[in-house]
Structure 1
Amino acid sequence: MFGIDVRTARVVWTAALVLLGLYCIYTMRTTLLVMLFGVFFSYLVYPLFTLAQRACGLRVPRTLVLLVVFAAVASIIGLVGLLFGNQIVAEATNLGQQLPKLLQPGELERRLPLPAPLEPLRVRLGILLQHLLEGGTAQALPVVRGLGTSLFHAAGNLIYVVVVPIFSFLMILEAPWIESFLASLAQRPDGRLWSNVARGLNDVLSQYVRALALLVLATLVSYSVTLGLLGVPFTLLLAGLAAVLEIIPVFGPLIAALTIIAVAVFSGYGHVWWLVLFFAAYRIFQDYILNPWLMSEGVNVPAILVVFGLLAGDELAGVPGIFLSVPVIAALRMFAVQVRLHRAARLNAGGAAQG
């Protein structure tokens, strides 16, 4: 009547709704990030809750069992912090006090481990290393200031530390309702795809979060024991750093290994090659035995996509984007697989009906 094409109007309306949704997501990005970390925490706690519920049976209310489990998890975290937190802080303080002395040109030249053929180049290599460190320090200062600003901002929003476990508690408490909703959704012809997508997303995220937690724990224990036996200084601090960097695929373990070797060299540690052998052996065990065993086929992401996701995640959201890059790529991959399976099922159903 007014010369408006109905199909074009629908496309424009759909595009406007998508843009509005993206804008809302960007506006609420902090809240959504907190909720997402609550989901991740739920995947860590839920296996303990399942075991506790089986042990208690139906006699104990679900809410009471969940409260006991959360109290136990909080107690364990607090106990670990009391046992090792003070020592890690002391090691970090000690390293900070020794760094200015360790990075002096004379100290660098004296502590630099070199094979005999390169011994005549010790002075030149020491000067080159000093220039590299000075340039790296100048480039690192803005990053450190930005990190300090982020930490200050986070300290002013400590309410999120409370919101994450509360959201996780409520999510686990409402798990039966979520299951019944997905079951009812699967009964609808147009809802089977989204039900499968939701269940696949749950499988991917639960597998990834639990596997990542075990990998971090394995790194913390292995590095703590090995560095302690080898007599490397600042053992707990360096092991904790390696465990935290384990959440960053590809680059995290490499940065951790280089950092530990650098601290060991500048601290006068004399068995650096033992550290190199340990890192090589542990990465082979981690990447080819432990990681494939923990990660399912749906969670494993090709290396080229991992690198792309890390760079894109850093550009979009900084450190949280780096952390979320792999699960997001795995979720998108799972969604594409479910869409393909759904289309194949519809084609097979259509062919059977015609036959």
Structure 2
Amino acid sequence: MAERPGGNGDGSGAELRENVQEDLRDGAPDAARDVVAEAEARAAAISSPALPLGEPGRPLNRRSPFVIGMAGAAGVAVTALAVELVIVARDVLVLIGLALFLAIGLEPAVAWLGRRHLPRWAAVTVVALTLLGAFGGFLAVAIPQLVTQATLFVTQVPGYLQDFQNGNAWFRDLDARFHVVEGLTQLATGGALELFNGLLGASAIVFNVLSSTLIVIVLFVYFLGDFPRIRRGLHRAVPNSRRPRFILISDEVFAKVGAYVLGIMVCAVIAGTSSLMWMAALGVPFPLLLAIMVTLLDVIPVIGTSVAGIVCSLVAFTVSPGTGIATAVFFLVYRVVEDYVLVPRIVGRVVEVPALLTIVSLLLGGVLLGVIGAVVAVPVGAAVLLIAKEVVVPRLDAT
């Protein structure tokens, strides 16, 4: 057949009719010419300006044995591949999830600035620069003193243990049986210093931390800037009949995560600041190092504040028994104030998770993803509880 003009694939009905006429004039075999001409005639008939490529045909018969077999085999293959990809890319997926978690948590701040007639790009810039500036300024001020105090703490641990042993008969008996002082002294003077003095190991640790931090920061900025588009894309992935209900539930989940992230950050800053002031006033050694530890551990619900209080109290006992007891009482009182005053007022009643579910979520999150899993466990548990309450339970009650 002769070469047809306008073969750009735009699917217009006029060109198809011209092609049919050319086929009739060409010298192709009758059978092939008739079959092709008939198909092109049908194609020209179904093409229109509104639908230049025609209407979609009927879907495949889902009850066909071939379709069922192929779907089953494809499902098994896709599931196995997905599990393998999750295992291989576990560390990267954790960083992506952490960045998305932070973006969802700070979205309320961007929305608040947007309601005050600030463009979204400017609101995202303000929030990102504020967070990065606070983080960078904190590191610039804290790292020199942190390194100094950490070094002193490691070198003075044996002396603290010896003093504590001399003044405590119960600890002397425990050390005589299990050699606690000897083991901790070797760890402090040998294992820890050897680990941090190793150039290759320290370089690898620093590189991994910096690269992971940079990845989270970049992804966080992109997620925060494109959050409305991500939200719409997530909604488009749901069938139209279920989309309104899904929008309401997903927005409620985002609200819970946002309230939790902002609230827990404020509570952590309050915990670190108050503990720093307390330990500096009582002359507890290494107050900045311990306050940073309190701030970081306070983001872990239930467990974090308790562990931080125990460590700070043990260090305070090196000053005097009265200082140690007073520090323990301080953290006990602060724990009560945080649980019953600060968290309800700052986080509010948005994240409503029973205590049992909180503990189970913390255990599972810690086992699966470590510290990051423990941090995100409570909002994830709140989201699961909301979905179960709004979707699963009504269906079970209806059956």
TM-score category (smaller protein): 0.7 to 0.9
Structure 2 residue 132 is the aligned partner of structure 1 residue 79 = no
Q: Residues 44 and 313 of structure 1: is their aligned pair in 2 closer, same or farther, counting only changes over 3 Å?
A: closer
**Counterpart selection for 2:214 from 139, 146, 162:** 162
Quote the residue 1:30 is aligned against: 91
Quote the residue 2:278 is aligned against: 226
- Normalized per residue, which structure has more helix? 1
Equivalences, count: 329
Give the Cα separation in 2 of the matches to 1:139 and 1:327.
Answer: 40
Contact 1:182 1:195 in 2 (8 A): no
How far does the alpha carbon of each residue in 1:2-31 deviate from its partner, in whole angstroms, 9 at most, with x for none?
x96987986776565444433333332222
Give the Cα separation in 1 of the matches to 2:221 and 2:244.
Answer: 28
| 1:279-290 matched pairs, under 5 angstroms | 279-290=331-342
Quote the residue 2:352 is aligned against: 300
Quote the residue 1:329 is aligned against: 381
Per-residue deviation at 1:328?
2.6
**Counterpart selection for 1:200 from 227, 252, 271:** 252
Q: Residues 69 and 196 of structure 1: is their aligned pair in 2 closer, same or farther, counting only changes over 3 Å?
A: closer
Contact 1:185 1:192 in 2 (8 A): no
Quote the residue 2:157 is aligned against: 99
- Structure 1 spans left out of the alignment, 5+ residues: 113-121, 348-355
Specify the SS of the correspondent of 2:132. Answer: helix
Give the Cα separation in 1 of the matches to 2:211 and 2:170.
Answer: 52
CA RMSD of aligned residues (A): 3.8
How far does the alpha carbon of each residue in 1:151-199 deviate from its partner, in whole angstroms, 9 at most, with x for none?
8655333333222222222222223334555676789213334333422
Contact 1:38 1:164 in 2 (8 A): yes
**Counterpart selection for 2:368 from 313, 316, 339:** 316
How far does the alpha carbon of each residue in 1:255-286 deviate from its partner, in whole angstroms, 9 at most, with x for none?
11111111111344642222122122111111
Structure 2 residue 304 is the aligned partner of structure 1 residue 252 = yes
Per-residue deviation at 1:300?
3.4
**Bigger relative contact order, structure 1 or 2 (CA pairs below 8 A, ≥6 apart):** 1
Q: Which has the larger Rg?
A: 2
Quote the residue 1:209 is aligned against: 261
Per-residue deviation at 1:340?
3.9
Contact 1:196 1:338 in 2 (8 A): no
Give the Cα separation in 2 of the matches to 1:323 and 1:152.
Answer: 27
Quote the residue 1:108 is aligned against: 164
How far does the alpha carbon of each residue in 1:85-114 deviate from its partner, in whole angstroms, 9 at most, with x for none?
32222222221121122222xx2244x4xx
- Structure 2 spans left out of the alignment, 5+ residues: 1-63
How far does the alpha carbon of each residue in 1:36-89 deviate from its partner, in whole angstroms, 9 at most, with x for none?
22123324543443454455x36xx54345334423432232222223332222
How far does the alpha carbon of each residue in 1:322-350 deviate from its partner, in whole angstroms, 9 at most, with x for none?
333323322221221231477499x7xxx
Letter in 2 for 1:35: I
Q: Residues 193 and 279 of structure 1: is their aligned pair in 2 closer, same or farther, counting only changes over 3 Å?
A: same
Q: Identity rate of aligned residues, in percent?
A: 25
Give the Cα separation in 1 of the matches to 2:355 and 2:185.
Answer: 32
Structure 2 residue 290 is the aligned partner of structure 1 residue 238 = yes
Give the Cα separation in 1 of the matches to 2:179 and 2:307.
Answer: 17
